[in-house]
């Protein structure tokens, strides 16, 4: 089936070439050509969404040149279909690294992201998401083109899908980024706004906003402090409690890693989490979650809390927050989990890492 679809890709690209050759010609039904162009891009998008072989066949058949030209088409339906096709093609990491940078795709796509019909903007923002991860050569170019400001504005869009896509793009930009870009996102979007979006409104928007907060605080010295500076300690605790109470497991996983990103930093920030008994209990309870991603997130947070030592950086001293962890029966819980033969490998490894912080078996 994959080989058959790959063959169809070449046929579809040939149709696009034939239609383009008729541009400006007399005695041609241009309205019909517009309809056929739209249909071809939709069919091509469906095929390339199926797998890597079809995506590679598309770029080898020079589909990228047709896509770039279609992004500037006068018909919104053609532009939307071309954006959809682009979204699926650039899912491929090898294609994103090799064929896309020289295609001239970024600027016409950003033009549609900035200003176009809603139906087009939805598809354009979805395609842009796949050009912003840390492996994409176009990330640096997108930053130079002002993508942070563009996405920050779209976070305020009245259309849920566009708002979600803008947050998703920012979330991708934050992975492996530098502090200057992180500060720029914090300044343009605002921690308070992200907090509101993560707690209220559409489910998909809440998930992406929580993901942005997780990533803005991950593996850096800037984000966690920015969250506390913007919200204040009581509101940070309330934010974590609200997100952890969500029925959406994706939101709770983001919340657990957000808590971990805060706990692993300065002891003073960790104390604000540990000092709220209800919040600490909730995090500990998630270590027993049947959702492995949530359990691992909770265990990372417990690990980070336990990593703070009573005598600063001395490995020989007890965990600074040992009493609070003991009050939650953490060591006993960890040993019970370790004795479960059905525990998945990822959770088991985290449990063992946490137990290393406790000097003797629980009685």
Mean pLDDT of the chain: 91
| Residues 347, 261: Cα–Cα separation, whole Å | 19
CB of 76 closer than 8 Å to CB of 31 = no
Per-residue pLDDT of 65-87, as tens digits, reads 999 999 999 999 999 999 999 99
pTM of the model: 0.91
Residue 152 carries which DSSP code?
H
- Looking at the chain, the whole-number percentage of residues with pLDDT higher than 70 is 94
Per-residue pLDDT of 116-171, as tens digits, reads 799 999 999 999 999 999 999 999 999 999 999 999 999 999 999 999 999 999 99
Which stretch of DSSP H or E encloses residue 242? helix 233-244
Structure token pair of residue 231: 């919200």
CB of 298 closer than 8 Å to CB of 286 = yes
pLDDT at 7 over 80: no
Per-residue pLDDT of 229-262, as tens digits, reads 999 999 999 999 999 999 999 999 999 999 999 9
Residue 155: its pLDDT value, please?
Answer: 97
Residue 363: its pLDDT value, please?
Answer: 41
Backbone torsions φ then ψ of 28, nearest 5 degrees: -120, 135
DSSP percent split of the chain into helix, strand, coil, nearest 5:
70, 0, 30
């Amino acid at each position: 089936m994959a080989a058959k679809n790959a063959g169809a890709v070449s046929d579809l690209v040939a149709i696009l070439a034939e239609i383009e050759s008729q541009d400006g010609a007399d005695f041609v039904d241009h309205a019909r050509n517009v309809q056929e162009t739209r249909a071809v891009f939709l069919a091509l998008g469906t095929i390339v969404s199926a797998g890597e072989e079809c995506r590679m066949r598309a770029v080898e058949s020079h589909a990228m040149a047709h896509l770039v030209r279609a992004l500037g088409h006068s018909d919104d339906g053609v532009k939307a279909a071309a954006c959809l096709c682009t979204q699926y093609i650039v899912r491929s990491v090898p294609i994103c690294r090799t064929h896309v940078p020289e295609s001239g795709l970024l600027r016409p796509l950003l033009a549609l992201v900035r200003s176009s019909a809603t139906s087009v903007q939805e598809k354009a923002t979805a395609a842009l998401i796949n050009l912003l991860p840390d492996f994409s050569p176009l990330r640096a170019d997108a930053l130079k083109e002002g993508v942070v400001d563009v996405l920050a504005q779209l976070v305020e869009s009245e259309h849920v899908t566009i708002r979600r896509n803008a947050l998703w793009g920012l979330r991708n930009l934050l992975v492996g980024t530098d502090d200057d870009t992180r500060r720029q996102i914090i300044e343009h979007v605002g921690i308070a706004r992200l907090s509101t979006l993560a707690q209220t409104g559409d489910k998909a928007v809440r998930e992406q906003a929580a993901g942005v907060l997780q990533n803005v605080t991950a593996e850096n010295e800037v984000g966690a402090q920015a969250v506390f500076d913007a919200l204040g300690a009581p509101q940070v605790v309330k934010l974590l409690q609200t997100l952890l109470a969500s029925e959406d497991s994706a939101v709770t996983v983001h919340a657990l890693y957000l808590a971990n990103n805060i706990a692993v930093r300065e002891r003073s920030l960790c104390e604000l989490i540990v000092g709220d008994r209800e919040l600490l209990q909730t995090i500990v309870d998630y270590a027993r979650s049947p959702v492995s991603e949530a359990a691992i997130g909770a265990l990372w947070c417990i690990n980070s809390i336990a990593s703070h030592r009573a005598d600063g950086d001395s490995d020989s001293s007890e965990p600074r927050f040992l009493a609070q962890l003991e009050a939650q029966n953490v060591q006993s819980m960890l040993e019970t989990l370790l004795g479960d033969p059905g525990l998945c490998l990822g959770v088991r490894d985290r449990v063992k890492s946490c137990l290393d912080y406790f000097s003797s078996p629980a009685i």
